[in-house]
Structure formats: structure tokens, C-alpha cells
Amino acid sequence: MTRLSTHDAIIIGAGPAGTSAALTLARRGWAVAIVEKSVFPRRKVCGEYMSASNLALLDQLEIGDAWRANAGPEI
């Protein structure tokens, strides 16, 4: 049986770029699926912190307040 996709876009990669693209499309009414090869959350080699220079982008995506509410301590 063949199953047809019900999505307008399929984003490969659930990192910052993929999720930002998916969020932007979804807010414009698109049906979006995100495909990621690994389960989140997962440990990252980078030290698991986000640079303060990224906060403006989170605010622009309207998720800055939610991120701050769940973020760990400042470094």
C-alpha cells in the first residue's frame, strides 16, 4: 500500500536551522514534518550551551521567553 504524504514540506535535520525553517513555514499555514536521524535531547560535543548572540534570533522566532524559562544557568 502506498501512503501519500500529507505535508507541504519535509525538513531534514532538527537542528537550529531546520527547526527555524519548520517553525516559519508552520506559522504561514504549511503542514511541516521534521526528520532527524537521532533522538532529542542528546548530549553535544560543543558543551551544551547557547551563545548569547543567538537570543535575538530566538526572540525573532517568538520563542525567546519560553527558552529563557527553561534554560539552565548563565555561563
Grid-cell match 531546520, residue found: 18
Give this prediction's pTM: 0.64
Record the cell numbers describing residue 35, joined without a space.
526528520
Alpha-carbon gap, residue 12 to 74, rounded angstroms: 31
Chain segment 14-58, per-residue pLDDT in tens: 888 899 999 999 999 999 999 998 877 766 666 567 788 888 988
Q: Provide the strand spans (E) within 3-53.
A: 9-12, 32-35
Alpha-carbon gap, residue 55 to 30, rounded angstroms: 25
Alpha-carbon gap, residue 41 to 26, rounded angstroms: 22
Record the cell numbers describing residue 60, joined without a space.
525573532
